[in-house]
């Protein structure tokens, strides 16, 4: 007569394998979840940076060399810093917007840039190209 079922050694071996594999699987799932949260926050920061860059360029709010602010109560974890610098062509201004946020005690940032035509330099007659 043959017996069906597991022996005690087979059962203990299966438990040991599960005890080794299960924590590794849980750690892998937790790492994936953490990375997805970071990717979502980074994508949101890039979207906020693009929106602020478009707003500053459209409203010509690039007079100061450095501006900063936050996104209000809707996005309290994000802040922005905008810098405007002259570019190679004196008629253009390079506008950079960095969005900064902190997560798990570390600070992250995303920066987007564009060139904005500076009407004031064209009105003053300063339309020469700088030599490189």
What does the pLDDT read at residue 130?
A: 41
The pLDDT-based confidence of 128 (bands split at 50, 70, 90) is very low
Split into its structural domains, the chain has a count of 1
Which residues share a beta bridge with 89? Answer: 129
Q: Is the pLDDT of residue 34 over 80?
A: yes
Q: Which single residue is written with the structure tokens 């936050």?
A: 70
pTM, 2 dp:
0.71
Look at residue 132 and tell me if it is in a domain: no
| CA–CA dist 100, 107 (Å, integer) | 7
Give, in order, the Cα–Cα distances in Å from 68 to each of 52, 55, 78, 83, 124: 11, 13, 11, 9, 28
Q: What gap in Å lies between CA 1 and CA 132, rounded to an integer? A: 93
Domain that holds residue 59: 8-123
d(CA 78, CA 42): 10
Strand partners, 117: 92
């Amino acid at each position: 007569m043959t017996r069906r079922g597991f022996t005690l050694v087979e059962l203990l071996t299966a438990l040991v394998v599960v005890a080794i594999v299960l924590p590794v699987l849980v750690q892998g799932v937790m790492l994936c979840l953490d990375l997805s949260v970071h990717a979502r926050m980074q994508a949101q920061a890039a979207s906020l940076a693009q929106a602020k860059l478009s707003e500053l360029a459209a409203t010509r709010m690039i007079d100061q060399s450095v501006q900063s602010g936050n996104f209000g109560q809707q996005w309290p974890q994000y802040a922005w810093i905008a810098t405007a610098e002259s570019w190679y062509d004196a008629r253009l201004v390079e506008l950079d917007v960095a969005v900064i946020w902190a997560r798990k005690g570390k600070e992250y940032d995303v920066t987007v840039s564009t060139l904005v035509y500076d009407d004031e330099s064209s009105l003053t007659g300063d339309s020469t190209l700088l030599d490189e």
